[in-house]
């Protein structure tokens, strides 16, 4: 496969790299090592710059006012955008904007006017409420939240766990079982305003991230109108799963960007650090760690770009996306771990971003589907779907 960048892609990569180096990294010198946001004045200034560059709302399709980037270009940008301290938690601190909830692109025009367009303009926040306490890796069968029809309304009871941003959201996509089908064909998606009676954020769930948390939500006799159904009745899981494979590619690319930066730091340190009469770079143990890092980086880059190019050609790419996510998240974790080892005691401190990347990458082995699920996806396709 030809992974040579076009002139336009190279220009975009150079532009994003320069933005990170000259606009983002200098600001981090004055932030807490675990900071997840910029000063509002800096945020507004940099958002204005990304809008001027035409890169605001990277994942928004052109028909909804976004740049309409192909998957390969989006992945290349993600590699560059993650190469700073907070790059895996909040790439460029959100100054390139987000896509809102991609599932809303399938909404009715009335729903788009009420939820999608305000979300794209930054006027409303949404959250994605799928995972439940009973299980996360097999959400279709784990969903025990139930909804039953009552005239023109639906009544929802149940709970959700590990939901990001529910306490600050204006609305939520809530997935509930609406039939006796125990699998994915009995789930419906509802768009729920978070001020609806019966919608309760039960508690905050703290995670490895010092400045990030998830939430647990309860639904107690929560009533929503039938017009709040997103898509078709009993077809909600198809909406939940929509675009998931495509999203895994830039997700994997962000992991790779951090690995590339950690490798650069490890090489610079190995060349400059003097121990036992010479630089670390002369020690075979260090050389092998650097080489193993390079193997992991090149492996991840190949898998990411192969998946992206297949997606852009409208070829089947589910296995390739799963492989990219698996290889990049696990391999990048190894790269950062070795970089920390090469830096010794300094690598364990918050003077460097390595320890934060280490924690973030541990989360990424679970986010967007854990490694075991990615292997299951690949196994099913490789074996021709001959088992469940």
Q: How many domains does the chain have?
A: 3
The verdict on 21 and 88 lying in the same domain is yes
Whether pLDDT at 386 is above 60? no
The verdict on 223 and 265 lying in the same domain is no
User: For residue 99, what pLDDT band results from cuts at 50, 70 and 90?
Assistant: low
User: For residue 348, what pLDDT band results from cuts at 50, 70 and 90?
Assistant: very high
The verdict on 250 and 224 lying in the same domain is no
User: For residue 335, what pLDDT band results from cuts at 50, 70 and 90?
Assistant: very high
The verdict on 162 and 44 lying in the same domain is no
Q: Is residue 82 part of a domain?
A: yes
User: For residue 121, what pLDDT band results from cuts at 50, 70 and 90?
Assistant: confident
pLDDT value at position 359?
95
The verdict on 266 and 364 lying in the same domain is yes
Among 76-90, 171-185, 367-381, the range with the most confident prediction by mean pLDDT is 76-90
Closest by CA position to 223, among listed 145, 144, 161, 157: 157
- Among 180, 209, 230, give the residue marking a domain's end: 230
Whether pLDDT at 370 is above 70? yes
Q: Give the pLDDT confidence of 275-290 residue by residue, as tens digits.
A: 999 999 999 999 999 9
Give the CATH number for residue 307. Answer: 1.20.140.10
* CA atoms of 294 and 122, how far apart (whole Å): 39
pLDDT value at position 65?
84
- Among 177, 211, 230, give the residue marking a domain's end: 230
Half-sphere exposure (CA, 13 Å, Cβ side) for 386? 4
Q: Give the pLDDT confidence of 61-79 residue by residue, as tens digits.
A: 888 888 989 999 999 999 9
- The whole domain housing 142 covers 126-230
Largest CA distance in the chain: 82
Whether pLDDT at 30 is above 90? yes
Q: Give the pLDDT confidence of 127-165 residue by residue, as tens digits.
A: 999 988 876 666 667 789 999 999 999 999 999 999 988
User: For residue 297, what pLDDT band results from cuts at 50, 70 and 90?
Assistant: very high
The verdict on 217 and 276 lying in the same domain is no
Share of the chain above pLDDT 90, in %: 77
pLDDT value at position 2?
79
Average pLDDT over residues 167-187: 90
Q: Give the pLDDT confidence of 197-247 residue by residue, as tens digits.
A: 999 999 998 888 766 778 999 999 999 999 999 999 998 888 877 567 788
Q: Is residue 387 part of a domain?
A: no
* CA atoms of 9 and 309, how far apart (whole Å): 13
The verdict on 213 and 264 lying in the same domain is no
CB 173 within 8 A of CB 129: yes
The verdict on 254 and 197 lying in the same domain is no
Closest by CA position to 34, among listed 78, 90, 82: 90
Q: Collapse the DSSP code of 209 into the 3-class scheme (helix H, G, I; strand E, B; otherwise coil) and give the result.
A: coil
The verdict on 315 and 219 lying in the same domain is no
Closest by CA position to 1, among listed 302, 322, 317, 245: 302
Residues that are catalytic:
368
Between 2 and 155, the more confident residue is: 155
Q: Is residue 192 part of a domain?
A: yes
Q: Is residue 107 part of a domain?
A: no
pLDDT value at position 135?
67
* CA atoms of 210 and 20, how far apart (whole Å): 23
The verdict on 261 and 177 lying in the same domain is no
Between 213 and 302, the more confident residue is: 302
Whether pLDDT at 174 is above 70? yes
User: For residue 1, what pLDDT band results from cuts at 50, 70 and 90?
Assistant: confident
Average pLDDT over residues 345-357: 97
The verdict on 246 and 377 lying in the same domain is yes
Closest by CA position to 179, among listed 107, 232, 129, 218: 232
The verdict on 223 and 260 lying in the same domain is no
Contacts of 307 (CB under 8 A, 6+ apart): 71, 248, 249, 252, 317, 320, 321, 323, 324
Q: Is residue 388 part of a domain?
A: no
CB 329 within 8 A of CB 255: yes
- In this predicted structure, which of 84-93, 192-201, 205-214 has the lowest mean pLDDT? 205-214
User: For residue 270, what pLDDT band results from cuts at 50, 70 and 90?
Assistant: very high
Give the CATH number for residue 210. Answer: 2.40.110.10
Q: Is residue 222 part of a domain?
A: yes
pLDDT value at position 295?
98
Average pLDDT of the chain, as a whole number: 92
The residues facing 201 across adjacent strands are 217
Whether pLDDT at 269 is above 70? yes
Q: Give the pLDDT confidence of 308-318 residue by residue, as tens digits.
A: 999 999 999 99
């Amino acid at each position: 496969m030809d992974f040579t960048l076009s002139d336009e892609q190279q220009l975009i990569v150079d532009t994003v790299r320069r933005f990170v180096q000259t606009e983002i990294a200098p600001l981090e010198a004055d932030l807490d090592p675990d900071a997840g946001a910029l000063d509002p004045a800096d945020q507004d200034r940099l958002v204005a710059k990304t809008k001027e560059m035409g890169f605001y709302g990277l994942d928004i399709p052109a028909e909804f006012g976004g740049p309409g980037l192909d998957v390969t270009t989006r992945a290349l940008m993600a590699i560059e955008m993650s190469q700073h301290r907070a790059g895996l938690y909040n790439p460029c601190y959100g100054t390139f904007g987000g896509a809102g909830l991609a599932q809303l692109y399938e909404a009715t025009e009335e729903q788009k006017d009420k939820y999608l367009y305000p979300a794209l303009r930054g006027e409303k926040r949404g959250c994605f409420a799928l995972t439940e306490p009973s299980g996360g890796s097999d959400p279709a069968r784990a969903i025990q939240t139930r909804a039953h029809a009552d005239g023109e309304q639906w009544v929802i009871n149940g709970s959700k766990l590990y939901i990001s941003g529910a306490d600050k959201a204006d609305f939520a996509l809530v997935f509930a079982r609406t039939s006796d089908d125990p699998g994915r064909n009995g789930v419906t998606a509802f768009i729920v305003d978070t001020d609806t009676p019966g919608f309760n954020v039960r508690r905050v769930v703290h995670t490895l991230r010092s400045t990030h948390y998830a939430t647990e939500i309860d639904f107690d006799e929560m009533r929503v109108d039938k017009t709040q159904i997103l898509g078709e009745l009993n077809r909600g899981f198809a909406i939940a799963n929509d675009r998931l494979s495509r999203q895994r590619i830039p997700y994997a690319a962000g992991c790779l960007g951090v690995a590339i930066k950690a490798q650069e730091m490890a090489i610079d340190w190995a060349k400059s650090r003097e121990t036992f009469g010479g630089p670390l770079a002369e020690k075979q143990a260090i050389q092998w760690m650097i080489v193993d890092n390079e193997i992991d980086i090149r492996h991840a880059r190949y898998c990411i770009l192969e998946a992206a190019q297949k997606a852009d050609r409208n070829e089947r790419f589910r296995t390739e996306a799963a492989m990219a996510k698996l290889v990049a998240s696990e391999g990048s974790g190894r790269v950062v771990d070795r970089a920390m080892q090469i830096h010794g005691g300094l690598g364990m401190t918050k003077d460097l971003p390595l320890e934060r990347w280490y924690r973030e990458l541990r989360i990424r082995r679970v986010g967007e589907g854990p490694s075991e699920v990615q292997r299951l996806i690949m196994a099913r396709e490789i074996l021709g779907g001959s088992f469940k």
